[in-house]
């Protein structure tokens, strides 16, 4: 890991436990927006926000949770596209959440209603059967969260709620997301996920070409 509090994608992919994630993002929070989001032309949150809006349309009042919200890249975009939606953020890193808490919309209101500190690899305590919509970008990736975590996180949605989540394409294959989805579909927990391939980074990025799959599905049971 970098010694001087400047981090990159290799550092992000080198972690493997929640404790290592916490330690990395505690030090990365201050520079993440400038040195990761902007410097890498990180377009993934835009693609996930656009997909959520495409799927949910003009629904006037939705309760949304951005899981692994980090510094608020996805929530900030979504709050501009749908200012009437109430967005909460959940993350394991207090330092990333502190940056997210500074984010305001163009109308001056905070991007996030509530920001919650939780380890999403543990049983989900922050909400059960509650949210109309779960969104996420950059969290279901190497060294971070896996397929079983996504299904556990889905329990924060109400029955009939929608999940719109980006999954790194290599990670999807490496850790067997398809098998977890097939089992959850066969048990009637979720609808068959629709997958859309998107770029994670724009053409100005050294990582241009890395792909994500945006999974869209509905929570079906209790």
Ligand X SMILES: C[S@@+](CC[C@H](N)C(=O)[O-])C[C@H]1O[C@@H](n2cnc3c(N)ncnc32)[C@H](O)[C@@H]1O
- Name the residues that contact ligand X, by CB under 6 A: 12, 18, 21, 25, 45, 68-70, 73-74, 91-93, 96, 119-121, 137-139, 144
3-state secondary structure the chain: CCCCCCCCHHHHHHCCCHHHHHHHHHHHCCCHHHHHHHCCCECHHHHHHHHHHHHHCCCCCCEEEEECCCCCHHHHHHHHHCCCCEEEEEECCHHHHHHHCCCECCCCCECCCCEEECCCCCCCCCCCCCEEEEEEEEEECCCCCCHHHHHHHHHHEEEEEEEEEEEEHHHHHHCCHHHHHHHHHHCCCECCCEEEEEECECCCCCCCCCEEEEEEEEECCC
Cβ-proximal residue to ligand X, closest one: 70
- Report, in Å, the least distance between residue 12 CB and ligand X: 6
Residue 12 or 64: which CB sits closer to ligand X?
12
Residue 42 or 181: which CB sits closer to ligand X?
42
- Report, in Å, the least distance between residue 178 CB and ligand X: 22
Displacement of CA 73 from its chain's centroid (Å): 10
Residue 84 or 125: which CB sits closer to ligand X?
125
**Cβ neighbours around 111 below 10 Å, total:** 24
Residue 22 or 185: which CB sits closer to ligand X?
22
Residues for the chain: how many in total?
A: 222
- Report, in Å, the least distance between residue 186 CB and ligand X: 27
- Report, in Å, the least distance between residue 192 CB and ligand X: 25
- Report, in Å, the least distance between residue 115 CB and ligand X: 11
By DSSP bridging, strand 194-199 and strand 211-218 are: antiparallel
Residue indicated by tokens 């994500």: 212
Residue 22 or 130: which CB sits closer to ligand X?
22
- Report, in Å, the least distance between residue 29 CB and ligand X: 8
Residue 70 or 147: which CB sits closer to ligand X?
70
């Amino acid at each position: 890991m970098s010694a001087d509090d400047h981090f990159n994608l290799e550092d992000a992919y080198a972690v493997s436990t929640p404790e290592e994630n916490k330690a990395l993002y505690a030090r990365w929070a201050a520079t993440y927006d400038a040195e990761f989001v902007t410097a890498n032309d990180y377009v993934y949150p835009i693609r996930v926000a656009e997909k959520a809006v495409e799927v949910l349309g003009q629904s006037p009042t939705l309760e949304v949770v951005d899981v692994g919200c980090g510094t608020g890249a996805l929530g900030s975009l979504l709050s501009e596209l749908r200012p009437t939606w109430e967005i909460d953020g959940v993350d394991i890193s207090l330092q990333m959440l502190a940056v997210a808490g500074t984010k305001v919309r163009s109308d001056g209101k905070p991007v996030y209603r509530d920001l919650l500190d939780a380890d999403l690899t543990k049983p989900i305590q922050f909400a059960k059967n509650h949210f109309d919509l779960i969104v996420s970008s950059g969290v279901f990736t190497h060294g971070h969260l896996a397929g079983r975590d996504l299904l556990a996180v889905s329990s924060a949605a109400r029955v009939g709620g929608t999940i719109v989540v980006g999954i790194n394409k290599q990670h999807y294959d490496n850790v067997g997301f398809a098998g977890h989805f097939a089992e959850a579909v066969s048990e009637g927990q979720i609808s068959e996920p629709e997958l859309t391939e998107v770029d994670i980074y724009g053409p100005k990025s050294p990582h241009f070409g890395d792909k994500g799959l945006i999974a869209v599905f509905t929570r079906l049971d209790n």
